[in-house]
Amino acid sequence: MRLIGPKGEQVGVIATSVALNLAKEANLDLVEVAPNAKPPVAKLIDYGKFKYNEKIKAREARRNQSTAEIKEIRFRLKIDDHDFEVKTGHVSRFLSGGDKVKVTIMLRGREISRPIGGVELLQRLAENVEEFGTIESQPKQEGRNIIMTLAPKGKKVHTQSEQRRRGDQSRAERQARQAARLAAKQEAQAQAAAEAKASISPTTSDMKKQTSKEGSNAEDEK
């Protein structure tokens, strides 16, 4: 087999028994990394550490991969301006978070025969959130509903990284504030204890005065 050393150095083609002895001497494991190669390739590694690193890499890959979800939000055709602005804010937040948004206009009664108002409402929404997303599926009527799909402009991994960075920063700031409060509390407790001790224990000068007075009284009695 072809052997690779623990630091990636090429040892060369050697017998399997020799490779096993080298692994034993180095207190490492002999792991076959390319079994289909001719000759097969093996490497001297700490297998436990290798598996741990592979697990960490897989976890980071899952964390950083784009896992966009499809959020759904519904409008009425006769929605007032305030509710429209609130729901527009929700759509912007979903898109900035890296998720697609399925927007549905629900038609009732005679509105079904005049869907143009719903299409205009969806186009107005798309214009208001164009900073965060684009139209992936144009408005179309499906039964009593008019549906449009918006897709985010950025990748979710970037948003997640930014959120983690902000979370780490907030956590560090919170821990710093907690440490400062704890230090201030300990300092106040120490100061209070010192003041209490000073008020209870007589000073050296007071003790000397008291001793001198007792001595004078004793001499007067004599």
Q: What is the pLDDT of residues 138-167, one digit of tens each?
A: 988 888 889 999 999 865 544 454 555 566
Total-model pTM: 0.42
In a domain, 186, yes or no: no
In a domain, 27, yes or no: yes
> Is residue 75 domain-shared with residue 137, that is, in the same domain?
yes
Q: Check residue 27 and give left, alpha or beta (phi > 0: left; psi -120 to 50: alpha).
A: left
Contact criterion met (CB below 8 Å) for 111 and 146: no
- How far, in Å, CA of 74 to CA of 127, rounded? 17
Whether residue 215 is predicted with pLDDT greater than 80 in this model: the reply is no
Q: What is the pLDDT of residues 78-92, one digit of tens each?
A: 888 899 999 999 999
- How far, in Å, CA of 37 to CA of 121, rounded? 62
Whether residue 62 is predicted with pLDDT greater than 80 in this model: the reply is no
The domain containing residue 36 runs over which residues?
2-64
Residue after which a domain boundary falls, among 136, 152, 168: 152
> Is residue 49 domain-shared with residue 80, that is, in the same domain?
no
> Is residue 43 domain-shared with residue 111, that is, in the same domain?
no
Secondary structure letter of residue 12 according to DSSP? E
Burial (Cβ within 10 Å: 0-12, 13-18, ≥19) of residue 123: middle
In a domain, 25, yes or no: yes
> Is residue 99 domain-shared with residue 123, that is, in the same domain?
yes
> Is residue 102 domain-shared with residue 127, that is, in the same domain?
yes
Question: Average pLDDT of 116-124?
Answer: 87
Question: Average pLDDT of 120-135?
Answer: 91
In a domain, 159, yes or no: no
Number of domains the chain is built from: 2
In a domain, 29, yes or no: yes
Segment among 25-39, 75-89, 205-219 with least mean pLDDT: 205-219
Q: In this structure, what CATH number is given to the domain that contains residue 83? A: 3.30.110.10
Residue after which a domain boundary falls, among 94, 117, 152: 152
Residue after which a domain boundary falls, among 92, 120, 152: 152
pLDDT of residue 84: 92
Rounded to the nearest 5 percent, the helix, strand and coil shares of the chain are 55, 25, 20
In a domain, 204, yes or no: no
> Is residue 97 domain-shared with residue 76, that is, in the same domain?
yes
